[in-house]
Amino acid sequence: MKIKLGEPRAGLSKCAAAVLIFAATGFVFYAYSLDYSPLFIAVLLVFYAKYIKRIENIPPLIDIYLLGALAVLTSIVTAVFLKFSGYAIPAIGFAILVTVLFENMDFSILFAFFISSLGASVEGQNFNVGVSLFTGALIASRIAFRARRRSQIIKAGLIGAIVQFFTAIALEKQFSFLYFSSTDVSLLKTCLINGILSAIVVFWVIPLFEYVFKVVTDISLLELSDFNYPLLHRLILEAPGTYYHSLVVANLSEAAAESIGANPLLARAGAYYHDIGKLLKPNYFVENLVGYKDVHKDLKPSMSKMIIMNHVTDGIELAEKYRLNRKIVDFIAQHHGRSLVYYFYQKAKELEPSVEHEEDYRYPGPKPQSREIVIVSLADAIEALSRTLDEPTPSRIEEMVRDVVKKRFLEGELDESNLTLKDLEKITQSFIRMLNALFHSRINYPKDTHS
């Protein structure tokens, strides 16, 4: 059984928005007898991106379409309805938005090209407008790429605007910079207001676009990783053992994600929240057991299993209540995949050997669907097991890590993520390195009799 929350609803509203924007755009193009060439350029660019350049991780077509339609509408409102010059078309803002949302420079460049050609078109095929919008958008994208602070977005808007202005001046005045006329000053004002204002609007609308496109930006991930965030703060106070466990899992996961070129920030934030469901019954989980009082002692294995397994569904509910990003909810839903609640499964088998228990003691899934979730699910199992190592020597650590990875691989838990065997080896090595560093201080070295 796959848990996919709210997707059909989100997909439907996205389609409805796309149809509405399409109708509005079509009407405006028709009513104002606008040139349709940017729309042909858009089709060519999508074809080029998908089938010729074969850009990896290109956003879904519906998302591209929605963004493209919004860009068309915004450009027309700016140039036709508000009667601003083509230089005021927010190419910089769209370039920053696309870069921050999808972290794909190839796609950002193509999108910048599209909106710039749109700008040139609504300004009556003005080549100068198109080129200056493109250079400004390009520089802004580059600066906003992997932005981790909101100030970096403003910086991208500002520098993009300056580049846009100088390109426009260079083209309009044929590179003669001897004096600036009042028209040039008003062009500078237009570029600056456009760049800065659109950057400000972008970071206002980022949460909305994250929701619609089901993505999470590095900026949001950093905010989610702040321990003052209400859910994480509750974890520290109400389930300190789980908090410490999540912290170690996060450190292991971030390094492993870095080693294979996955998103380390996403792996870290996902690890922080993966066990958030334990907040409801923290004392039933081994890492929070106080004074070695085993609360499961008097419970049937089936009851214990239910409490343990419920931390996934409870976590999803809590995440929804706190409006966590869907990408983070996926970590909660998938980190146990279809694995077995082994300890209580064994207990049930001992009590009723004739009954087939396996299916009842397996988490419902789904299996991890992304590289970052696979990493967190492996780090989760490894961290839990590492606490049981009496003498964590480097060879024992390596044996334990390789055992966990091999077992998960053979059980098919890693099948639904696009992880390669080469990636898996890099992840294994990263875990071994990190755990050795973590346990380094706990190893009893022989005493130096000379000191």
CA distances from 235 to 77, 93, 244, 252, 328 (A): 47, 37, 9, 19, 16
Q: Which two tokens stand for residue 361?
A: 């003691």
CB of 298 to Fe ion, least distance (A): 23
Nearer to Fe ion, 149 or 387 (CB): 387
- Identify the residue whose tokens are 């294995």: 301
Closest approach of Cβ 252 to Fe ion, in Å?
Answer: 11
Closest CA to 400 of 412, 414, 386, 410: 386
Minimum distance between the CB of residue 324 and Fe ion, rounded to whole angstroms? 16
Nearer to Fe ion, 169 or 378 (CB): 378
- The answer to whether residues 365 and 340 touch, using CB atoms and an 8 Å cutoff, is no
Q: Smallest distance, Å, CB 187 to Fe ion?
A: 57
DSSP 87: G
Report the nearest approach of Fe ion to the CB of residue 245 (Å). Answer: 6
Q: Which amino acid is at 237?
A: L
Write the DSSP assignment of 396-450 as a string of letters. HHHHHHHHHHHHHHHTTTTTTS---HHHHHHHHHHHHHHHHHHHGGGS-PPP-TT
> 78 vs 334, which CB is nearer to Fe ion?
334
Taking the complex as a whole, the smallest distance from the CB of residue 320 to Fe ion amounts, in Å, to 17
Between CA 386 and CA 435 the distance in angstroms is 8
Cβ distance to Fe ion smaller for residue 275 or 330? 275
Q: Hey, what long-range contacts does 318-325 have (CB within 8 A, 24 or more apart)? A: 318/231, 318/276, 318/277, 318/279, 318/280, 319/231, 319/273, 319/276, 320/5, 322/230, 322/231, 324/224, 324/231, 324/273, 325/210, 325/211, 325/216, 325/220, 325/224
Q: At its nearest, how many Å lie between Fe ion and the CB of residue 282?
A: 12
Instruction: Please identify, using beta-carbon distances, which residue of 128 and 225 lies nearer to Fe ion.
Output: 225
Tokens at 317, concatenated: 């509910």
* Cα atoms found within 13 Å of the Cα of residue 225, Cβ hemisphere only: 20
How far apart, in whole angstroms, are the C-alpha atoms of residue 172 and residue 175?
A: 8
DSSP 358: G
In whole angstroms, the minimum distance from the beta carbon of 51 to Fe ion comes to 41
Q: Judged by CB, which is closer to Fe ion: 29, or 345?
A: 345
Give whichever of 35 and 317 is closer to Fe ion, judged by the CB atom: 317
> How far, in Å, are 60, 376, 416 from residue 260 at the CA level?
24, 14, 17
Closer residue to Fe ion, CB minimum distance, 380 or 423: 380
Residues that bind Fe ion (CB under 5 A): 275, 380
Q: Which is nearer to Fe ion, 109 or 257 (CB)?
A: 257
CB of 310 to Fe ion, least distance (A): 11
